[in-house]
């Protein structure tokens, strides 16, 4: 099997990359280890930065997002039983975010790919990337019980944090920067209309809570829980009681309860793998970096990487110059480190670390107060949340 670009992984990064390349007249093959139903069901991100929504539209994958997605012009910060709204367009010159689930982004991109894109093989597991440092890299993979080889001009590892692509970069060339947090998020999906029309980020002495949504009738809510918590330890009633405590306000705001349809725990981690390129192998998305979900950046960073790669390869094909491909890792990492900083700031602003002292509690409240009273501090948050421009 042959392709100009071999793409490992059909998450948002791999699927969008295949679309961008198709639109630029560059052929690709996508290998995905899971089946289609699994990929389309995997509950994860839900907030699209302005730039991400614009890219999906420009790629011809934005029609359903524009019909069903919810434009959000702000978020609410909640602390000390008070509420403070951050108004994105007013602070950023008109930028906003779109609430549209990652599952739906993936469904839309899969449908387009199967309709008129290149091959997308489900249940095709990449086993290794070989000869990455040469002009003829290969992906060895297993599909329908048989081993096969995909020969390519370029390989893009979009295979997430647990994938195989980054293992093909020699260890002596790699630097990893990492931080794990001593807490996770217990996330639920509930069949109940969201109790607020924008996301609510709550800092509470008992820990962080987030009110989010997937649609006008489905709520997505999160609770900070100790590292290693099993979702089954929490009954539905305990979850709603705890959410109620952490979202409590001094006014008459009420949290609506409803049937919980899904519960899971997500660990919190910051991780960056440098470089993101070795020879003809490029890493994109979670394969190269992870952010804690507090800043809603993971999916958006994956989009930034593949936009940068597609532009660089198109430039190379049109002009013969490898300049942008050579600069891929640096270009992506500049934006990634800004997102790492933003996600870290949001996480330490809102979560209560085990053993936090009264001093640290007061500092968190002072930081929140600063955002609520300083246009400069609030603008920094709004710019980070709605997203920095894509590089390249």
Q: Which residues bind ligand FAD (CB under 6 A)?
A: 8-14, 31-34, 39, 44-47, 102, 125-126, 158-160, 162-164, 187, 266, 285-286, 293, 296-300, 302
Q: Confirm whether 297 is a catalytic residue.
A: yes
CB of residue 164 to ligand FAD, shortest distance in Å: 5
- CA dist 334 to 68, 215, 328, Å? 33, 33, 10
CB of residue 251 to ligand FAD, shortest distance in Å: 27
**Which token pair is 20?**
């961008």
Between 25 and 232, name the residue whose CB sits nearer to ligand FAD. Answer: 232
CB of residue 295 to ligand FAD, shortest distance in Å: 8
Between 43 and 249, name the residue whose CB sits nearer to ligand FAD. Answer: 43
- CA dist 388 to 96, 164, 335, Å? 12, 29, 7
| Active-site annotation holder among 12, 22, 72, 289 | 72
| Active-site annotation holder among 292, 297, 328, 351 | 297
Between 105 and 325, name the residue whose CB sits nearer to ligand FAD. Answer: 105
CB of residue 52 to ligand FAD, shortest distance in Å: 8
Between 11 and 118, name the residue whose CB sits nearer to ligand FAD. Answer: 11
| Active-site annotation holder among 100, 181, 201, 222 | 201
| Active-site annotation holder among 154, 181, 328, 385 | 385
Q: Confirm whether 72 is a catalytic residue.
A: yes
**Which token pair is 167?**
């293992």
Phi then psi for residue 210, to 5 deg, are -130, 130
Between 142 and 369, name the residue whose CB sits nearer to ligand FAD. Answer: 142
Q: Tokens 């829980």 belong to which residue?
A: 225
> CA gyration radius for the chain?
21
How many whole angstroms separate alpha carbon 45 and alpha carbon 70? Answer: 14
How many whole angstroms separate alpha carbon 222 and alpha carbon 77? Answer: 15
Q: Tokens 């981690």 belong to which residue?
A: 269
**Of 103, 101, 99, which Cα lies nearest the Cα of 36?**
103
CB of residue 86 to ligand FAD, shortest distance in Å: 17
How many whole angstroms separate alpha carbon 137 and alpha carbon 114? Answer: 25
How many whole angstroms separate alpha carbon 292 and alpha carbon 180? Answer: 9
| Active-site annotation holder among 12, 137, 292, 293 | 293
* Catalytic residue positions, numbered: 72, 201, 293, 297, 385
């Amino acid at each position: 099997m042959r392709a100009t670009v071999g793409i490992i992984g059909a998450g948002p990064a791999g699927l969008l990359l295949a679309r961008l390349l198709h639109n630029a007249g560059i052929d690709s093959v996508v290998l995905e280890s899971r089946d289609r139903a699994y990929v389309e069901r995997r509950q994860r991100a839900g907030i699209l930065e302005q730039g991400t929504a614009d890219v999906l539209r420009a790629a011809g994958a934005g029609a359903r997002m524009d019909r069903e997605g919810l434009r959000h012009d702000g978020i609410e910060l909640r602390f000390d039983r008070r509420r403070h709204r951050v108004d994105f367009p007013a602070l950023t010159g008109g930028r906003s975010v779109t609430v549209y689930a990652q599952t739906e982004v993936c469904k839309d991109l899969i449908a387009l790919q199967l309709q008129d894109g290149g091959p997308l093989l489900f249940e095709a597991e990449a086993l290794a990337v070989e000869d990455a440092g040469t002009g003829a890299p290969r992906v060895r993979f297993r599909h329908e019980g048989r081993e096969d080889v995909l020969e390519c001009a370029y390989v893009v590892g979009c295979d997430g944090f647990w994938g195989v692509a980054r293992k093909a970069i020699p260890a002596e060339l790699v630097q990893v920067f990492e931080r794990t947090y001593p807490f996770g998020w217990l996330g639920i999906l509930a069949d109940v209309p969201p109790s607020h029309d924008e996301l609510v980020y709550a800092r509470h002495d008992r820990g962080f809570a987030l009110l989010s949504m997937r649609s006008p009738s489905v709520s997505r809510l999160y609770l900070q829980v100790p590292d290693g918590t099993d979702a089954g330890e929490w009954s539905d009633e305990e979850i709603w009681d705890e959410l109620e405590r952490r979202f409590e306000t001094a006014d008459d705001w009420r949290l609506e309860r409803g049937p919980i349809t899904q519960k899971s725990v997500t660990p919190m981690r910051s991780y960056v793998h440098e470089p993101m390129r070795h020879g003809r192998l490029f890493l994109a998305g979670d394969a190269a970096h992870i952010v804690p979900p507090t800043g809603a950046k993971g999916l958006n960073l994956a989009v930034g990487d593949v936009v940068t790669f597609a532009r660089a390869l198109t430039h190379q094909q049109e002009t013969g110059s490898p300049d942008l491909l050579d600069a891929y890792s640096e270009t992506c990492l500049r934006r990634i480190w800004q997102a790492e900083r933003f996600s870290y700031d949001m996480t330490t602003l809102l979560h209560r670390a085990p053993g936090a002292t009264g001093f640290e509690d007061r500092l968190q409240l002072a930081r929140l107060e600063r955002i609520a009273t300083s246009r400069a501090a609030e603008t920094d948050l709004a710019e980070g949340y709605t997203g920095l421009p894509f590089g390249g």
